[in-house]
Every structure is written in C-alpha cells, then in structure tokens.
Homo-oligomer: A and B are copies of this chain.
Amino acid sequence: MVANSMVSRNRFDFREVQDLVVKLTKSSGVPQEDAVVFADALVWADLRGTSTHGVSRVDIYLRRIEKGLINPVADLKIQSRSPGVLVADAGTGLGQVQAVRVLERLYPVATELGVASATIKNSQHFGAASHYCELAAERDMILLVATNSEPAMPAHGSTDAFFGTNPVAASFPTGKGYSIKIDLATSVTARGNILAAAKEGREIPSGWAIDPEGHPTTDAESALQGAVLTMAGHKGYALAMLVEILSGVLSGSAVGSGIGSMYKDMNREQNVGHFFCLFDISSFMDVSLFKERIGSMIDLIKVGRKQPGTDEIFVPGERTNKKVLENKEMGIPIDTATLEELRSLCHKRGVPFTLS
C-alpha cells in the first residue's frame, strides 16, 4: 500500500503534522478530542507508509464537512439487542472518530464475555482498517475488521463496479516488539494506489483494472471511472461479498453501488458500513502462552529456506514496524500536492501553517 515515491516529498515531524491536522479539523467545527482521534488515525497511516490513507485525505474530509455531508458534531447512537452485540449508527460523523468510540465501548464487553461484535452504519471512509486492529492488539485483544467502501470492483463476470475494495484486517500481539498486521483490500490493488497514480500522472500495471466498457486498461483515470478487478478472480469476489454482507447488509448501511463516492459524489452522503469482532485472548488461553506460540510460529517461518532472490522472509507488520521507527526519527514524507493542499487550507481558515 506504500505509494511509489516518484514525486517530490519532504519529511515532517509527525507530532507537528498531527498538531496541524487537529487545528484544521477543529476549524471545521469538530470538537478538540474528536479532532485528536481523527488526526491520530491519519498520521498513524502516514507513519506506516500508507500515505493513501493519511493526511493526503484531510482536504476531502474537510470539504465534505463544509458540504454538510459529514457531521462534525454527530451523535453516536448505539442500540444493544443482545449482551455481546453493539448496533451503532455513526450519524454521518467522521468514520475514524466513530469507529474508535465504538471500539472503546466494545472493550469491556469483550473483557466480560470473551467476544463481542459491532456494526456501524451511516459512516464514511474511516482510513486504515488496521489502525483499529492495532489499538486492540495493544490491549492483548484481537480485532477483526471488515468495511465496505465506494463502488470499485465488479462481481465476477460483470462489468459494473459494485463492491468497494472491501478490506479485511486483523492484528495480533506477538511479544516481538511489533504486532502482526494483516490488512488487505480484496482487490488486485488498493484503489488508493490508482488514485495516487492518477494524481501523479502515472500508468498502472495491466491486470489491475478495466475501463467503463469492461476493457483492460493501464490508464489510471480510465481505471478510476471503470472498475478495479478482484484479487484471485472468483475468490476475491467471494471475499468482497463476505465483507459487503457483514459490514453493509448486516449493519444497515448502504450496500454496493448504493455507497457514495468520497471524491465524486459531493451531493450525497457515503453511508459506509463497518463490522467489528473483538476477541479477548485471555478467554482462549493465557496471553503469555499465546505470545510464546505466535513467536514460535514467526521464528519457524523466518528460518525457512528462501526462494532465489529473497534475502529475508518477513511476516506482515514486521517491515511496517521498521518504517514507523524510521518515520518517527526522520519525519513522515508528505508529497508536494498534499503539502500545498494543507497550506491552502490553513490560509483559508486562518490557521498558522507551522510545518517546516
């Protein structure tokens, strides 16, 4: 999910970036503590090299608030029909904020019952799904996340974009200084990578997408108007549907092509749905034993024979962890276009542009 660094990028201290995003978000009417949660989620992604889900999206979120498509002071309504399930309505609030609020309500339920689940409707694109998983992993819990998203991929055999790139994510504490971080779009590639290519005027690899008439294309703009393909053909189709049912059908949110586009539909809400299932590890086995066992698995994988051309076998999350350490030390890279967006937002809102 790391965007290619073919454009000029400067690095900035992540705390300074976070601070600026908080100020900008507050200037849109979002309360201080919600603005902090929101900025945390975006900078979390930039720290991990997932700039497609980072501060490059500040501009569009704030524009959608201006248009009345995101409610900066939304209520979170939670209905509970059963002890282990929270049915949430995000009230078109910021997805990052409402997801964290639901997760906070889910922790004590999972601690008591061992497992707890939640759906969230009337939400937005909520950034990187693995952000929420990692918050849970820090508490020795396992969070499975699924979310639907704006139409991008056709059903197997179809030309029309129906499903979003519908990611699934989970993180696992390891005792190795990092969490195993699994976060995958069910598409051949993340839509963010096509967006980035379009923004930078690059071609995309063949096999990634079809144009609006169903023909294969390497043009990023045509791909954005057409459809991204599911990973592994019918298997990705099945997984995308699994995600759509859990996060969309079951939550009461919009489903498939009913979801509004973040960038293209500036006249209607997105109505994205999210699905959480939270497991308390200690309800299955002692946490120390779990970490010992997952550590042994990692060790076994890493000492396996390597394929020619492979220097080291990595587990998901391992390299991300190195990237975080690097970016905390060196600053997070921000591309010129995003930097200009932030500068312009500051100018319009009378927020001092403090990045240096």
Contact = CB atoms under 8 A, between A and B. Distances in A.
Interface of A: 81-85, 87, 112-117, 119, 142, 154-160, 162, 168, 170, 172, 180, 182-184, 188, 214, 231-232, 234-239, 241-242, 244-246, 248-252, 255-257, 277, 279-285, 290, 293-294, 296-297, 300-301, 304-308, 310, 312-316
Contacts of A284: 81, 85, 87, 119, 250-251
Copies of chain A in the complex: 2
A271 B113 CA distance: 27
Given A170-B242, A232-B236, A252 B285 contact: yes
B305 A158 contact: yes
Contact of A182 (B119, B183, B242): B242
B159 A305 contact: yes
Contact of A249 (B238, B277, B293): B293
Contact of A113 (B84, B87, B248, B256): B84
B182 A238 contact: yes
A310 B214 CA distance: 12
B85 A241 contact: no
A180 B114 contact: no
Kindly name the residue among A234, A279, A300 whose own CB sees the greatest number of chain B CB atoms within 10 A: A279
Contacts of A180: 241, 245
A217 B354 CA distance: 58
A342 to B, nearest CB: 32
A237 to B, nearest CB: 7
Contacts of A316: 234, 237-238, 241
A114 B106 CA distance: 13
B300 A256 contact: yes
Contacts of A87: 284-285
Contact of A114 (B84, B114, B293): B84
A293 B158 contact: no
B301 A158 contact: yes
A55 B238 CA distance: 26
A101 B312 CA distance: 43
Contact of A84 (B84, B184, B235, B250): B84
B313 A157 contact: yes
Task: Pick from A81, A188, A235, A241 the residue with the most CB of B within 10 Å.
Answer: A235
A162 B301 contact: yes
A180 to B, nearest CB: 7
A83 B281 contact: no
A242 B168 CA distance: 10
A182 B241 contact: yes
A315 B84 CA distance: 30
The 4 closest A-B pairs by CB, nearest first: A82-B114, A85-B114, A82-B283, A84-B113
A1 to B, nearest CB: 11
A184 B235 contact: yes
A260 to B, nearest CB: 16
A166 B155 CA distance: 24
Contact of A245 (B113, B183, B285, B294): B294
